Amino acid sequence: MKQLQLNQVFRVNGEVNIPGSKSISNRALLLAALAKGTTTLTNLLDSDDISHMLNALSQLGISYQRNIEARSCTVVGNAGPFSSQQALTLFLGNAGTAMRPLCAALTLGTGEFELTGEPRMEERPIKDLVDAIAQIGAKVEYLKNDGFPPVKVIGSGLNGGTVKISGALSSQFLTALLMVAPLAKDDVAIEVVGELVSKPYIDITLALMEKFGVTVTNHQYQRFSVKGQQQYIAPGDLLVEGDASSASYFLAAGAIAGGEVKVTGVGKQSIQGDVKFADALAAMGADIEWGDDYIIARGSKLHGIDMDMNHIPDAAMTIATAALFAEGDTQLTNIYNWRIKETDRLAAMATELRKVGATVEEGEDFIRITPPSKIKHAAIDTYNDHRMAMCFSLAAFSEAGVTINDPDCTSKTFPDYFAQFQLLASR
C-alpha cells in the first residue's frame, strides 16, 4: 500500500484555483447529453466520478470532444432519451452522481442496461429511487441484493402522474427523478415523504435544469411540479464552478494555520450548498472574507461548535478534523447518511480521530469530538474514501505530522489534491 508522509506544516499562505464541481459536472454532462443542441462545458472536473459518467455516455452513443488540458468538453446532445439495440453494461465505479441519475434516465428510452459498480457501490442503497420511478412505469430489476446495485434497467418510457419518494437517506434519488420528469409522457407531481436530507443539492439540480431550459415548481422541498413532454435545450456554453466541498480543505488550512488562503472559482454567487462550510468555519472563529468568485480564510483562534450538518454532509467531514485544532468540543449532528456514502464515515471518522488522540463519541447520527492536548502521529486509514484522505491532511498542522494510507483514493473527485496541498504548504 502506498503511504504519504506529511511533516509538520507551520503556516500556509496563497491561492488555490479549485477544480470543477463534481455535482455540477455530472449533472451538466447528463443534461447536455439529453438536450437538443451542443453544449461546451468549461472547467469540467477531471476525476474518476466524471470519467464514469463520460464512459457511460460514450457507450450510449453520445459523442463529445474533450480537451483535458483546457478542462473543456463539447457534448453533442441526443435531443431526447438514450436507446440501444443491444444490451449494455455500464460500470459506474462508486459515483453516486452517475449511478442514481443514469438509473432513472435509462428508463426513458428503450433497451436493456446493466448498471454496475465497485464493491462499495453494491452496499449503497438505490431502493427509494427504484420504488419512486416504478410508480410512473419504470422497470428496474436488482441483479444481486434487493435494493442495491447492480441493477438492470429495461427502458420503455416513463408515464406522468403522482410519485411519492422518500428523502430520508439521500437527495440523489430526488435529483434523479427531477431530472427525468420533464421527459415523461405527462406531467409529474412529486411528493417527498418524510424529511428531505441534503436539501441544497436539490438547488443545484434545479439550477442546472433551468440552464437547460426547464423550470420546476418547488413547493418548499415537499412537493415539486414538473411539466411532462419537454425537451432540454443546450445552453451553448456552461462554466462549471469550482467544487465547494474540495475548497473546504484549503479554507480549513487557512483557518488553522494561515496566513491567508484564498480559494478561487467558488464564492458567494455559488449554487453549491457546500459554500456554507465557510459559515461553519466562521462560527468556529475563523476570519472569512467572501467575494463573488472567491473565499478567503485567515488564521485565527478556533473554538468548538455544536451544529446540525445535514445541509453540508460532505464538507462537514472537514469540520470534524478542523475540530482537532479548536478549543473545546465540537459536535456535528443530523448526519446519519455519512454511514451510506463511500464508507461508513461516522465509524471511520471516529476510529481515525481516536488514533491521533481525540476522544470521540460516535452516535447513530452524530459525532462529538474532544480534541487531544497534543495530537499524536498516526497512519490514517482512508477506507477508499477520498474525503477521509483529504480531511486528515489537516493533521499535518500538528507537530506530529501525519501519514495518509492510500492517498491516491482522492482520484474520485480530486486527483492532484496532495500536490496542491503541498504546494500551498511550501509557501
Ligand X SMILES: O=C(O)C1=C[C@@H](OP(=O)(O)O)[C@@H](O)[C@H](O)C1
Catalytic residue list contains 314: yes
Helix or strand or coil: residue 365?
Answer: coil
Q: Which residues, other chains included, contact 10 with Cβ-Cβ below 8 Å and sequence gap of 6+?
A: 257
331 touches ligand X (CB under 6 A)? no
How many C-alpha atoms does 421 have within 13 Å on its Cβ side?
31
Asked whether the bond before 150 is cis by omega within 30 degrees of 0, the reply is: yes
423: three-class secondary structure by DSSP: helix
Q: Which is nearer to ligand X, 76 or 347 (CB)?
A: 347
Decide: is 96 part of the binding site for ligand PEP (CB under 6 A): yes
Which residues touch 169 (CB under 8 Å, ≥6 apart)? 125, 128, 197, 337, 340
Using CB under 6 A as the binding rule, whether residue 387 contacts ligand PEP is answered as yes
Residues 307-326, interacting with ligand X (CB under 6 A): 313-314
Burial track 276-288 (b if 16+ CB lie within 10 A, e otherwise): bbbebbbbbebeb
Secondary structure class of 278 (helix, strand, coil): helix
Q: Smallest gap, in angstroms, from Cβ of residue 157 to ligand X?
A: 25
Least distance in Å: CB of 198 to ligand X?
3
* Residue 212 engages ligand X in binding (rule: CB under 6 A): no
The SS3 call for residue 199 is coil
- Provide the minimum distance between the beta carbon of 313 and ligand X in the complex, in angstroms, as a whole number: 5
Question: Which is nearer to ligand X, 175 or 398 (by Cβ)?
Answer: 175
Site string for ligand X, 18-37 (x = CB under 6 A): -----x--------------
Decide: is 171 part of the binding site for ligand X (CB under 6 A): yes
Q: Which does 413 bind (CB under 5 to 8 A by kind): ligand PEP, ligand X, none?
A: ligand PEP
Of the candidates 304, 369, 366, which has an alpha carbon nearest to the alpha carbon of residue 335?
Answer: 366
Q: List, in sequence order, every beta strand (DSSP E) within 134-257.
A: 139-142, 151-156, 161-166, 188-193, 217-219, 223-226, 237-239
Task: Select the residue interacting with ligand X from 172, 270, 411, 420 (CB under 6 A).
Answer: 172
53 lies in the site for ligand PEP, by CB under 6 A: no
**Residue 413 interacts with ligand PEP (CB under 6 A): yes or no:** yes
Query: Annotated binding site, which residues?
Result: 22-23, 27, 96, 124, 170-172, 198, 314, 337, 341, 345, 387, 412
Q: What does the binding site for ligand X look like in residue numbers (CB under 6 A)?
A: 23, 96-97, 170-172, 175, 197-198, 201, 313-314, 337
Which residues make up the interface to ligand PEP (CB under 6 A)? 94-97, 314, 341-342, 387, 413
